[in-house]
Chains A and B, each alone.
Chain A
Amino acid sequence: MNGTIEPMVGRYVHVDIGGEMHRIYFEEAGAGIPLLCLHTAGSDARQWRHLLADAEFAKNFRIIAFDMPWHGKSNPPASWTGEEYQLTTARYTETIRAFCHALKLEKPVVMGCSIGGRIVLNLAIDHAAEFRALIGLEAADFQAPWYDTTWLNRPDVHGGEVCAALVSGLIAPQSPDVTRTETLWGYKQGGPGVFKGDLYFYRVDGDLRGRVETIDTKVCPLFLLTGEYDFSCTPEDTKRTAAAIGGASVTIMEQLGHFPMSENPEQFRRYISPVLGEILKQSMQHRQGVQV
């Protein structure tokens, strides 16, 4: 064999979500603490490919990223007949928990970006004890809308082009062209109405203002990291959210935007490495404490 083969392996798992089996595609690499990664709205788990290929992280973490139903290689469920797709807070939460259950993940770390960052906050509110730590990238309890989502799915505007063009401004100017282009390609490949349907959760159903105050970071540590060029979920949005949560860690990432893990993996690594190191340290201390 002459080709370079990357370390992650992709498989399908059948997951019961809402009483119906869903064929979910996921990729994984490494061994150790389960680290489940959630992609942004309108894209898929390829956004995590650089993290999945990180040999250092893979020594201590079982890194897993799955495509949400309707995204990437996870098709819509068999019962779908073409009606409008709308992601809700309840459905998103149920999907993540069902996936963790299907893979028998024991106290995983969940790291989500954008809508994945928002749902991480909901996991912290309602299900903190199930998780070892939670990491929200580009996460806030609410963000002011900056465009009308009806433009994302209409027959007289190319959905892939407009979705990519809208989010292109959320990428930091310093991000390399190659990873910028790849990040936008994910948006150009999304199914019709899927990005818009994800944003139903983000814009309409998933307003967590007034609820994040109940998060107890002693039950589950919470790390929030936001790129300085993200004008959708701004650093101020994240700081405001964190200010309402006792003990939440906040980092503003320089020269990064809304897609840190895919737009500039090297720069993102500088920020996520100490967070994963801290989680590993806490996990080892906890294990030693139990043994004593």
Chain B
Amino acid sequence: MSSASNATDAAVIKSFAAIPALLEQAPALIVRGRLLDCDCLLGPTGHPFHATIRAGRIVDLTPAPVLMRSWRFAYRATPAAWAAYWQSEPRPGWHDLLALTKRGEAMLEGDLHPFMAHLQYFKDVLALPRHHFTVAA
């Protein structure tokens, strides 16, 4: 693996770990997820996180794998896809979670009900690193 892709992977993992704190700064988004309690798997394909969501807050975000931890749904995308999605002005086809699944850069699996019932919430939560994302030179 090249040093450039290593740097992208590291930057994506670091940005994911910062999402719970960014969400705490977005009270309107928390309100939108106020009825959501869900354990899900989110993140880069090779290094996803177990997210514990309670009343719209991410109360725990732990790198996978965790022994025998269950999840209801998983949304995992390539590091390149997250890096593109988090650009302040994403390129066409890289600008939406479902654009990424359509182009094969992301996988959506499991029981999709919590994801679909709170689709805009998840789109917006997973876009929180936009405007903050940088890859170390």
- Report which A residues bind B (CB closer than 8 A): 144, 146-147, 151, 156-158, 161-162, 164-166, 168-170, 172-174, 228-229, 231, 234
Which of B's residues lie within 8 Å of A, judged by CB? 89-90, 92-93, 95-99, 101-103, 112-113, 116-117, 119-120, 123
Q: How far is the CA of A146 from the CA of B103 in the complex (A)?
A: 9
Q: Which of B90, B99, B101, B116 contacts A151 (CB 8 A)?
A: B116
A234 contacts which chain B residues (CB < 8 A)? 93
Q: Which residues from B are CB-within-8-Å of A174?
A: 89
Q: Is the CB of A173 within 8 A of B117?
A: no
Judged by DSSP, the binding face of A is: loop
Partner of B92, one of A144, A164, A168, A231: A231
Contact residues in A for B92 (Cβ distance below 8 Å): 172, 228-229, 231
Closest to B96 in A: A169
> By the criterion CB–CB under 8 Å, are A161 and B90 in contact?
no
Q: Given A165-B123, A173-B89, A173-B90: A156 and B97 within 8 A (CB)? A: no
Least CB distance, A139 to chain B, in whole angstroms = 17
B102 touches A165 (CB 8 A): no
In the complex formed, the residue of B with least CB distance to A228 is: B92
Q: Are B120 and A147 in contact, CB atoms less than 8 angstroms apart? A: no
Give A254 Cβ to nearest chain B Cβ, in Å.
9
Q: Are B120 and A161 in touch, CB under 8 angstroms?
A: yes
B28 vs chain A, min Cβ distance (A): 13
Closest chain-B Cβ to A27's Cβ sits at a distance in Å of: 29
How close is A161's CB to chain B, nearest CB, in angstroms? 7
Closest chain B residue to A229, Cβ basis: B92
A164 to B119, CA, bound (A): 9
List of 10 A-B pairs having minimum Cβ-Cβ separation, nearest first: A169-B96, A165-B119, A165-B120, A146-B102, A231-B99, A228-B92, A229-B92, A157-B117, A151-B116, A231-B93
Closest partner residue, chain A, to B120 (CB atom): A165
Given A169-B97, A229-B92, answer yes or no on A158-B117 (Cβ-Cβ < 8 Å).
yes
A168 x B120 contact (CB < 8 A): yes
Q: Most chain-B Cβ atoms within 10 A of its Cβ — which of A144, A156, A158, A161?
A: A161
CA distance A169 to B92 in the complex (A): 10
B32 closest partner in A (C-beta): A161
In chain A, what residue has the closest Cβ to B108? Answer: A147
Determine whether the beta carbon of A169 is less than 8 Å from that of B95: yes
Task: Name 24 A/B residue pairs within 8 A (Cβ), A-sorted.
Answer: A146-B98, A146-B101, A151-B116, A156-B113, A157-B116, A161-B117, A161-B119, A161-B120, A164-B120, A168-B120, A168-B123, A169-B96, A169-B97, A169-B99, A170-B96, A172-B92, A172-B95, A173-B90, A228-B92, A229-B92, A231-B92, A231-B98, A231-B102, A234-B93
State which of B89, B99, B103, B117 has its C-beta within 8 Å of the C-beta of A162.
B117
6 A-B pairs besides A169-B123, A229-B93 with CB distance below 8 A are A157-B113, A157-B117, A164-B120, A165-B120, A166-B119, A234-B93
Contacts A156-B113, A157-B113; is A229 near B95 (CB within 8 Å)?
yes
**Given A168-B123, A231-B102, residue A173 in contact with residue B116 (CB < 8 A):** no
Q: Indicate the member of B92, B96, B101, B117 with the most A CB atoms within 10 Å.
A: B92
Complex CA–CA separation, A200 to B46 (angstroms): 37
B72 to chain A, nearest CB (A): 14
Q: How far apart sit A174 and B91, CA to CA, in the bound complex (Å)?
A: 11
* A residues less than 8 Å from B96 (CB atoms): 168-170, 231
Report the Cα distance A168→B120, complex, angstroms: 8
Q: Which residue of B has the minimal Cβ distance to A163?
A: B119
Q: A228-B92, A229-B92, A231-B93 are in contact. Are A166 and B98 (CB under 8 A)?
A: yes
- A164–B118 alpha-carbon span in the complex (Å): 11
Q: Is the CB of A173 within 8 A of B113?
A: no
